[in-house]
Amino acid sequence: MNSPHFSVVLVNWNTANLLLRAIESVITEAIQSDICVEIVVVDNGSSDDSVAQIREKHPEIRVIENGANLGFARAVNKALQVHQGRHVMLLNTDAVLQPGCLKSFLDAFQQHPNLGILGADLLHEDLSSQNSSAPFPTLPGELLNKSLLRIFLPRKYSRKVIDHAAPFLKVDSVIGACLVIRKETLDAIGPLDERFFFFFEETDWCFQAHRLGWAVAIIPTARVIHGQGKSSKPVLVETRIEFYRSRYRYFLKNKGRVRTILLFEGLLIKLSVETLTAFLAWIASAGQSERIRQRLMVVKTLLLWHLRGCPRSWGLEGRFLRGSEKDS
């Protein structure tokens, strides 16, 4: 029996409607393109009826139930242990494949054997462009104003304008809403680093691929509509803390301790200024602006988290660990 062209992995946490829409887009695209796919859904302890709906509407799909939210990397790695495809696609539940997407990825892999990881041309719901790639994190990139960096270092920090006439666009890393990795590349770099609970896993994967000589690229004709964070909005503050935790983990792993300390000190100063600015803006609005109040709450919490030594319990991982302990 021939292996599927793609193993499509979706990690779900309480996004039943989004998940079903994403799955339907994969099935439709596979049928229309005559491409063989297997779909693996990893459920991270959802409390909605996600799993029941999948089993009822798509009994052919492999479902892995974790029973608790183990984070993105650990969930994906469970699927990687059982996948059969020649290529693996990580697809967010808030993403929808557009016509020709799978064929574009398959053609790129077949025609360019040096391409190890591919990303899609990501679009908003209104079909306007969103960032599909990102440069690798650096101290200037994390500490300085992005608008200034785009002015003074446009080649590295400007928003990527995708040339749809080009077969591919080489980049540092792709946005993980839709990431496809060649099996040979996966075998070389290994599974996702499970020390990343959420965020930066795909950036680290791309970094390891580059390190071993594989190219990472955007395929302009592979288009995907992306809801951009719909699944993480209900826990905004914890999500931001987890972003910072993963950023420090990435720097410590790939940039070394000295740069990680410099990053911490720089972000501590930056958050102090942002908290003061938000507080003054809230006073100026007489406490009437909900947007400013929300901004103040987020930056103040991030500042306190830093001052208290970055406790794991404040982020998403700590939140879900507390939840699983209550349920046990």
DSSP element (H, E) containing 75:
helix 72-80
Q: What whole-number distance in Å separates Cα of residue 12 and Cα of residue 44?
A: 6
Buried b (16+ CB within 10 A) or exposed e, 290-323: eebeebbebbbbbbebbeeeeeeebbbbbbbbee
- Across all residues in the chain, what is the average pLDDT? 92
| 239 token code pair | 């999500």
Q: How confident is the model over 223-244, as pLDDT tens digits?
A: 999 997 665 555 579 999 999 9
- The single-letter DSSP state of residue 194 is T
Q: How confident is the model over 54-100, as pLDDT tens digits?
A: 999 999 999 999 989 999 999 999 999 999 999 999 999 999 999 99
CB 42 within 8 A of CB 72: no
The pLDDT value recorded for residue 25 is 98
The pLDDT value recorded for residue 121 is 96
- The residue count for the chain: 328
Q: What whole-number distance in Å separates Cα of residue 104 and Cα of residue 324?
A: 41
Q: How confident is the model over 169-216, as pLDDT tens digits?
A: 999 999 999 999 999 999 999 999 999 999 999 999 999 999 999 999
- Tell me the pTM: 0.91
The pLDDT value recorded for residue 323 is 54
The mean per-residue pLDDT over the stretch 299-323 comes to 88
Domain boundaries 6-226, corresponding CATH code: 3.90.550.10
29-34's contacts with Cβ under 8 Å and 24+ in sequence apart are 29/97, 29/98, 29/99, 29/100, 29/101, 29/102, 30/6, 30/102, 32/99, 33/100, 33/102, 33/103
Q: How confident is the model over 28-58, as pLDDT tens digits?
A: 999 999 999 999 999 999 999 999 999 999 9
CATH 3.90.550.10 residue window(s) in the chain? 6-226
Lowest model confidence (mean pLDDT) among 112-121, 122-131, 156-165, 216-225: 156-165
- The single-letter DSSP state of residue 129 is B
Whether residue 151 has pLDDT greater than 90: no
Which is more confidently placed, 166 or 283? 283
